A = this chain, B = another copy of it.
Amino acid sequence: MFEILLSDLSGQPLYLQLYTQMRNHIRSGVIRNGTRLPSIRSLHQQLNISKTPIETAFQMLLSEGYIVSKSRSGIFAVNPHENWPAFRPSIDLRQQGDVQNPIPSQSIAAQDIRFDFKPAGVDNEMFPVRIWRKMINEAIENHSADISKYGDTQGEYTLRAVLADYLRKSRGVVCSPEQVIIGSGIAYSIGLIVHLLKGIGRIAHEEPGYVQVREVFALNGFHMLPIPVGEKGISLEALEASGAQAVYVTPSHQLPTGAVMPYSEREYLLEWARTADAYIIEDDYDGEFRYFGKPISSLQSLDHYGRVIYMGTFSKAFTPAIRINYTILPIQLVQRLEELQHILNAPSRVEQWAMTSLIEQGHWYRHVRKMRNTYQRKHQRLLELIESHFSNKAKITGHSAGLHIRMELKTHLPTEELLKMAAEYGVKVYDFRHSWINWVEPEYPEIYLGFAGISESAMEEGILLLKKAWARVWS
């Protein structure tokens, strides 16, 4: 269950060692809230010490509220900080929004949040339950001869082929199935790129930008160079000056600012890569969703020199619960995959087979079209709501694509204060503070709202509450 190390040499009495260690385990979550603890008798046997120090330690924990004793059922751990964002390694930080954003106010318990404009959210109603079950059932049935065999570690060939076809049609991506790697999410993709770009020490990234990518590179010893982001995406001047040999960008909808990189900037960026012999990592995570203006070709589709590593995901248009994403390598990097054969590791074959059929049978195209309509509508609704409730007090940017928008508020209150005020009314909005390596309070606070994971009616209520929460800002 958990470890207690008692030492004669520590100079501390046994009861104190025991008390301290158990308290720490409970506080840190190693002993989870509600866990049934071993009895005094069993600890006595296990630790091979007399019962007195155990009883004393338990008395202390009891009086401090770290344990409760329930008659006939035993002693249970109580974490008094359970609702605090304390260190809890077992809880998904992404789900809590922590990765992209700290919890706005420490005094607000998660359960008090009724309207969450989480930028990473996805519509839950639209998931094609019936069709996906059909695809999965067929996959298991039709591949019974392969159900007990390892698959291609680069991904099932047929999935790579239909995906290459889809990406060509939808995003202009030019590739053969040999260039496609099926993976289980961006951590996996970056984990591979880390090895493909071995020897390249310095990687430029957007500031602000996507925390996870920055951190995975940094954990692997890369020196990360933050490059400022403007209205046209990453600053090409600063990039050129940085001396980077690779850059990670989100050109179709910059995370978090929402900037879309214009065509001419794309050409310039590609030219930079060619001249500097550098690689561009293009994360087209929500490239399917664009609301205004002409779609701009992906960098990959404009690249004639094999400088672009393209990646996309099923997390936005489908679901992040089934972990499938993809990376498209330029041909010269495909050759180096052989060296990486031992770290290649494709996700479940059954789900890959199901995904293949989903695309082959046309369901996927219909689904993406539906999602685009849904998100277009939600997007429109959110803009209307903000317009009608905040009119001249809010300026919206970053809204021509993707699944979240940015709202600049005409006040000089700090962003954190605004998040706190919102949370007090049960509304969670975001500041993406963690996306900056060097966060500076902007002149006007910038608030981020995702619209994909929240229903239109909840959106309405949420914005109304936000208006109430912030009423005194302008009174």
Contact = CB atoms under 8 A, between A and B. Distances in A.
B345 A184 contact: yes
Given A92-B153, A178-B30, A99 B148 contact: no
A32 B1 contact: no
Contacts of A332: 3
Given A145-B124, A191-B191, A323-B348, A133 B129 contact: no
Contact of A334 (B30, B177, B184, B338): B30
Contact of A342 (B2, B219, B304, B346): B219
How many copies make up the complex? 2
Contact of A323 (B157, B216, B347): B347
A194 to B, nearest CB: 9
Contacts of A147: 124, 127, 129, 319, 321
B320 A148 contact: yes
B212 A342 contact: yes
A216 B342 contact: yes
A188 interface: yes
A132 interface: yes
Given A129-B140, A137-B133, A342-B215, A149 B90 contact: no
Contacts of A124: 144-145, 147-149
A144 to B, nearest CB: 6
Contacts of A297: none
A29 interface: yes
Given A348-B348, A349-B321, A3 B187 contact: no
A303 to B, nearest CB: 10
Contacts of A334: 30, 89
A154 interface: yes
Interface in A120-144: 120-124, 126-127, 129, 132-133, 136-137, 140-141, 144
